[in-house]
Structures are given as structure tokens and as C-alpha cells.
Structure 1
Amino acid sequence: MNRIDRYILRQLVGGLLAVTFGLAALVWLTQSLRFIELVLDRGLSLAVFVQLTGLMLPGFIAVILPITTFVVVLFIYVRMNSDRELVVMRAAGLSQLRLGRPAMLLAFASVALGYALNLWLVPMSHTAFRIWQYEIRNEMAAILVQEGVFSSVGGDLTVYARLRDRDGTLRGILVHDAREAGAPATILAEEGRISNGPFGPRVTLLKGVRQQMERVPPPAGSPPGTEPTMRLSVLSFNENSVDLARATRQEEVRFRDSRERGVQELLHPDPAEQLRPREIARFVGEAHQRLAAPLTALTYALVGMAVALTGQFRRHGGGLRLAVGVGLVVALLAVGLTIGNLATRDNAFTWLIWVHATVPGAVALWWLVGAPGLPRFRRHVMPPGQPMASG
């Protein structure tokens, strides 16, 4: 690698790091706003919020890395062309491929990083994110009950404590449990303490009253159509316990989505899960997209090189090149989204994912080397001294 390659590569790497992390931070900021309410309701610290939402960054980077690679390659080469740097390099005898070698090195590095993200880091970080989110909603909420605040656990369970001592003892407790359909219960207790049970956190209540509405079937001999009546049942107790680990029965088993699974598990899911055919097709389509997505970084970089390095030099032609390049990649992104949705519904179209990831790059490389095989139309030049035909 000579000095020219290092000069171009230094600008490409610096631009890629700046654009990728800047765009990832912007996407992280917009997406993390969805979790502010969850964190505020549970009383979590700022550090927990940053760590929780930071686990989404690998997924964001994996999605935007091909786009930022294209943007950096296109803008750096267009700027160098506008500053006449490429004109000088071509005059020194450098070919198009020789000028594009630093961009190819950057593109291959982006492909390698994309595979590391898609095959290893993104599933691992997304799994940690889902597990942490699940614990916050179903377990940590019970531990972080604040005094004087009605803490909602999942929507079917509400806990209130008037005071909380330094040793963790809760005083003046109210628990409203609506997890049993048609029979909500309200529990009032003088004091209680939260402990870890075999199935998660639970609160032990002392000296209280349990009030529950119960359905009483109509007595025998009632006329047809008689609806059951509701009866208030009151039970005084010295000690009672309520499980706070799960707000609803449906959350007892957490389903692992496609982003938490490896490629091998997506292609060959466990039959014991009894997945529906629609879910299996979605998993297979996700596996092919995860394997083919890093290659789009190379394809988009080749498209940017083909737009920026080919064509005649124009003093004010940078804007047109940028518009053409951005338009081509926007069209490729739209086609890629359409193909991805189609392949996840019907796996017979998964081959289109690989066509989209490779064929545009091959066409751009063919155009970059001079489009061999394409017929050339040259203007006829009259020899000097020959008179022009009149009429």
C-alpha cells in the first residue's frame, strides 16, 4: 500500500467512523424514547436506561453499515474529483481500479464487520436486551416498589405502600390483583416484606384483609336465563403471600423471536416448539437476509465507485453524481425491503435476496472496468484538408 492508498483510505475510514456512529447515535436516541416511560414507571436509574438501550446499538449498526459505507465512498470520491485530485492521479497513470482499491479494502472490512455483527453480536445483544426487559417488567418492578406510588406490574396487578423502612419493610400496603378473570381481589395489610421465592419475587403480607368478588351461580329451580350474582368475600389473615414475579399467566413462558436465534436455529428450528408454518417461513427468510445483508456493503460501495469514478470530468458535475448515486441506492433499498417481506412470506423467493445483494455490485464492477462487450459509437473525424460536402 503506497502513500496514495493510505491518503484515500485514511479519509474513507475517518468518514465511515464519523457517519456510522453519528447516525447510530441518532437512531438510538429516537428509538430509546420508547423506553423512557418503562424506566420512569419502574423507578430505574439513568445508568440502567443507558445500558438497556445500549444493547440495541449492534442491531442499528448492522442495518446502517452498508448505507454509511456507500455514503462515505460516494462523497469522498466526488469531493476528490471536484478538487481535481483524481485528475492529477489519473494523469500519473492510475487506472479506475487502482483509484478504487482503498474503497474496496474499506468495503471488505465492512462486510467482515457485518458478518461479525449479524452472526454473533446482534443475536447475543438482542437476547440480553429481551431478558433484561422481561425482568424489568415482571420481576424488578416488584422489587422497586416505591412508597406513596401506585406501581403497576404488567397491567393486572397494582401495588401500593404508604411507607418503606430502611430495612425494606413495607407499611400500609394495598394490592389489587385482577389476574383471575371475573374475580378481582383487593388486599389490605398493615405491613409486609418482599422476598425472592422459587418462581421470583413475592410479597409476604401480615395482619390484613382480603376482599374478593366471587360469582355465585343461581340456586336450583331458578328460571332459565337467570344470571349469576356477585358476592363479596372477606377474609382476615395474619399472614398471606402474593406472587409478584408475573403479572399475567401468558408471560410465564417467554417466546424467543427471530433476532435472538442463530442462523442454524433459524434454518432448523426445534420441533418441540411446535412453530406454525408461517413462523418457520419467517425464520428461514430472516436467516437468508442475515447471511446476505453484509454483502450489500460491498455492492453499495461498488455502486458509489461506479458513479463517482466513471464519466467525463465536469467542473460543476458533483451535484449530479451525488443525485444519481443516492437515487440508485434508495431504489436498491426499496427493492430490498420488498424482496425481504416477500421471502419471509414465501421461501420460494429467498433466491431474490442473494440476487439483490450481489448482482447490482457485479453490474457496477463491470461498468467500472469500462463495460467490456458494450458496443462503442465513435464520431467520424474528417482528415485535414478534405472539403465538407455541401447541400
Structure 2
Amino acid sequence: MTRLDRYIFRQLAVALLAVTIGLAALVWLTQSLRFIELVLDRGLSFLVFIELTGLLLPSFFAVILPITTFVVTLFVYVRLSSDRELVVMRAAGLSQWRLARPALGLALVAVMACYGLNLWLVPASQAAFRAWQFEIRNQLAAILVQEGVFSSIGDDLTVYARYRDRDGTLRGILVHDARERGAPVTILAEAGRITPGPNGPRVTLMNGERQQIERVPPPAGAAPGTPPTTRLNVLSFSENSVDLARTGRGSGEGGERYRNAQERTLDELLHPDPADHVPDRDLRRFRAEAHQRLASPLNAIGFGLVALATALTGQFRRHGGGLRLFTGIAVVVVLLALGLMTNNLAARQNAMIPLIWLNALAPGLVACWVLADMPGLPYGLFRRRVRPPAQHASGPGPA
């Protein structure tokens, strides 16, 4: 690597590091607001909040890094062009590809970083994040039940306690359990304690009443179309227990958590365990996710080449070149939109998976063709013919 290469590469690397960290911090700040209720409403410490949301950072970096590679490459090379540094380098005999070499080296580093994130760090962090989130919502129900607060454990279970004694006994308890669809249960009890159970924490209730609304089918011989009626069943008890761990949506058999595509390894996505009984819809998503992980890091070098094609094939002045910059940015925005669309299509129908690879490879190939001065394209609107220098004849011209 020459001194000029090191000079350009150092500017690119410093700018990439600063922009990527800054943008990832901004995205983390906006996304972490969704989990602030864990601190404000459920009594968890701020340190737990930081550790939980910090597990989202690897996925942010994996998405942001190709975009920041484009932004940094375009900014640095346009600045070099406007400061006439590229003019001096070209006058010294450097070709387009020699000028592009530092940016290509940085793009390759970004590609390797994205592969490390997609294939190892993101699945591990997503698995840890979702496991921790599942534990907070289910296994840590004991600390989420606060006195004087309606504590929602999932979307279908609510617990209220008027106050808590020093020994942990809850007084004035209300439990609304809607996990059994069509037959919600409301339990009122004088006292209760949260105890461990085989599937998670349980609340043991004393001296209470259990109310359940049930649908009663119409009696035999009723007119067709007669709607079913409802009745309220009331049961008094001296002791009862309710499982606070959610066993509905998001859980598998035995209360186990179902792992989605983002937290599975590449091998698990391509060769899922038959014992998991993964439905066909999820199998299609798994295959699409595996190809997306393998193809998306190539966007870093593709976007970098688009930035080079934008910056090195035009003349940028201090107060000009805005149309070319807008064109390059618009191309990347369209590519990002197409990437989201192709990922969704491939997840629904695996026959569209080649579009994922086409969206990752085509921009770089087209940008290379533009950097090579578009060979094979006739001179016209897109290229300007360079006129040969005029030859001065020493003798008289032809008659």
C-alpha cells in the first residue's frame, strides 16, 4: 500500500468508525424507548435495561455498516475532488482503479465485519435478548407483581395486589386470566404468595372466589340459528394456585420458548431439526433468512462501488455537482427499498430467493462497468467522446 493509499484509507476508516458508531447509537436510542416500560412500570434496574437493549446493537451494526460505507466513501472522494486532490493524483498517473483501491479495501473490511456479525454475533445476541425478554415476562413474574399496580404478564394475564407484606405475602389479589380463548377467568382472593413451580412461578391464593364466563350451546330442538348463551360460574375456594408463566403464544410444548429465524444459526436455518416440527411457513422464512445473511454483507462493497462510480466519474466543484450526488444517493435508497421487498417476497415464496443475490451483486457489477468507462456502450448521451489533438501539417494541405 502506497503513501497515497494510506492517506485516503486513513480518512475513510476514521470517518466510517465515527459515522457507524454515531448512527448506531441514534438507532439504539430510538429503539430502546420501547423497553423503557421495564424500568418505569415493572421495577427493573436501569443497568438491566442497558444490558438488555445493548444486545440489539449487533443487529443495528449489521444493517448500518453497508449504508455508512457508501456515505463515507462518497463524502471523502467528493471532498478530495472538490479540493483538487484527485486532479493532482490523476496528473501523477494514477488510474481510476488505483484511486479506488483504498475504498475497495475498506469495503472488503466492512464485508468481513458484516459476515462476522450476520453469521455469529447477531444470532447469539438475538437469542440472548429474546431469552432474557421471555424470562422477564414469564419466569420473573414475582418481581413484576407490584403492590397497587395492574401488572400485565404478557397480553393475556393480569395480576393486581393491593399491597405486599414484609414477608412477601400479597393482600387483596385480583387475577384475570384470558389464556384460554373464549373462557376468561377472574379470581379474587384475600391473600396469596408467589412460589416456584415446574413451569415457572405460581401464585398460591387463599380464601377467594373464581369467576368464569362459559358459552352454553342451545338446547336440543332449538330453532336453527339460535345463538349460544353465556353463564357465569362462581366457585369459592380456600386455596388455589395459578401458573404465572405464559404458556400461550410464543411458547412451545412444556412452556418452552419458540425460537424465530433471527436467533437461529445458519446451519439451523438450512437444516432445521425435524423434532421441532417447524411449519412450512417458517421453513420458507428460514431459507430466505439464511440467503439474506449470506448475501447482505456484499452490499457493503456494492454500495462502496456505487459511491466510487458517483465520485470518480464526475467533476465536482465547491458549488457544483449536486445532481450527480443526488443520483448516487437515490440509487442506494432504491436499492435498500428493493432489498426489503425482495426479502419479504423470498420469505413468502422461496422461488424469489435469486432476487436476493441479484440485488446484492448487480449494483457492484454495474458500478464496475461505469468505472471502466462503460465499455461496449456507443458514444452518445452517457459518454463524451474525447477529441484527438489537432495535427499540424508541416507542408501545404491537399489541393
Asked if Structure 1 and Structure 2 have the same fold, meaning a TM-score greater than 0.5 normalized by the shorter chain, the answer is yes
What is residue 163 of structure 1 aligned with on the other side? Answer: 163
What is residue 382 of structure 2 aligned with on the other side? Answer: none
The answer to which of 148-157 and 243-252 deviates more is: 243-252
The answer to which of 106-115 and 211-220 deviates more is: 211-220
Could you say if the C-alpha distance between residues 344 and 247 of structure 1 is closer, same or farther in structure 2, counting changes exceeding 3 Å? closer
State the one-letter code of the partner of 1:286: E
| Mapped contact 1:138–1:247 kept (Cα < 8 A) | no
| Mapped contact 1:142–1:245 kept (Cα < 8 A) | no
State the one-letter code of the partner of 2:346: A
State the one-letter code of the partner of 1:209: G
| Other structure's SS at 1:256 match | coil
What is residue 211 of structure 2 aligned with on the other side? Answer: 212
- Name stretches of at least 5 consecutive residues in structure 2 with no aligned partner: 380-384
For residues 29-48 of structure 1, what are the alpha-carbon distances to aligned partners after superposition, in whole Å with 9 as ceiling and x for unaligned?
22222223354332222222
Q: Distance in 1 between matches of 2:341 and 2:359?
A: 11
Residues 162-311 of structure 1 mapped to structure 2, 5 A cutoff:
162-180=162-180, 181-182=182-183, 184-189=185-190, 191-206=191-206, 208-213=207-212, 230=231, 232-237=233-238, 239-246=239-246, 248=248, 251=251, 252-311=255-314
State the one-letter code of the partner of 2:81: N
| Mapped contact 2:141–2:201 kept (Cα < 8 A) | no
The answer to which of 242-251 and 100-109 deviates more is: 242-251
What is residue 337 of structure 2 aligned with on the other side? Answer: 334
Residues 22-41 of structure 1 mapped to structure 2, 5 A cutoff:
22-41=22-41
| Mapped contact 1:42–1:141 kept (Cα < 8 A) | no
What is residue 76 of structure 1 aligned with on the other side? Answer: 76
1:357 paired with 2:360, answer yes
Could you say if the C-alpha distance between residues 155 and 314 of structure 1 is closer, same or farther in structure 2, counting changes exceeding 3 Å? closer
Q: Distance in 1 between matches of 2:286 and 2:245?
A: 30
Q: Distance in 2 between matches of 1:257 and 1:382?
A: 69
1:348 paired with 2:351, answer yes
| Other structure's SS at 1:305 match | helix
TM-score by length of 1: 0.87
State the one-letter code of the partner of 2:328: G
What displacement does 1:232 show?
4.7
| Other structure's SS at 2:173 match | strand
Q: Distance in 2 between matches of 1:221 and 1:247?
A: 35
For residues 203-224 of structure 1, what are the alpha-carbon distances to aligned partners after superposition, in whole Å with 9 as ceiling and x for unaligned?
2334x12232465979999977
| Other structure's SS at 1:100 match | helix
Q: Distance in 2 between matches of 1:149 and 1:380?
A: 84
Q: Distance in 1 between matches of 2:149 and 2:215?
A: 34
The answer to which of 107-116 and 6-15 deviates more is: 6-15
Counting aligned pairs with the same residue, the percent is 62
1:379 paired with 2:387, answer yes
| Mapped contact 1:143–1:201 kept (Cα < 8 A) | no
For residues 13-57 of structure 1, what are the alpha-carbon distances to aligned partners after superposition, in whole Å with 9 as ceiling and x for unaligned?
111111111211222222222223354332222222222222111
Question: What's the Cα RMSD here?
Answer: 3.1
1:17 paired with 2:17, answer yes
| Other structure's SS at 2:53 match | helix
Q: Distance in 2 between matches of 1:362 and 1:218?
A: 67
For residues 296-346 of structure 1, what are the alpha-carbon distances to aligned partners after superposition, in whole Å with 9 as ceiling and x for unaligned?
101111111122122346564342332222122122223323322232222
Q: Distance in 1 between matches of 2:216 and 2:167?
A: 46
| Mapped contact 1:11–1:76 kept (Cα < 8 A) | yes
| Other structure's SS at 2:36 match | helix
What displacement does 1:249 show?
7.2
1:133 paired with 2:133, answer yes
What is residue 5 of structure 2 aligned with on the other side? Answer: 5
What is residue 112 of structure 1 aligned with on the other side? Answer: 112
What is residue 51 of structure 1 aligned with on the other side? Answer: 51
| Mapped contact 2:281–2:348 kept (Cα < 8 A) | yes
What displacement does 1:58 show?
1.1
Q: Distance in 2 between matches of 1:277 and 1:242?
A: 34
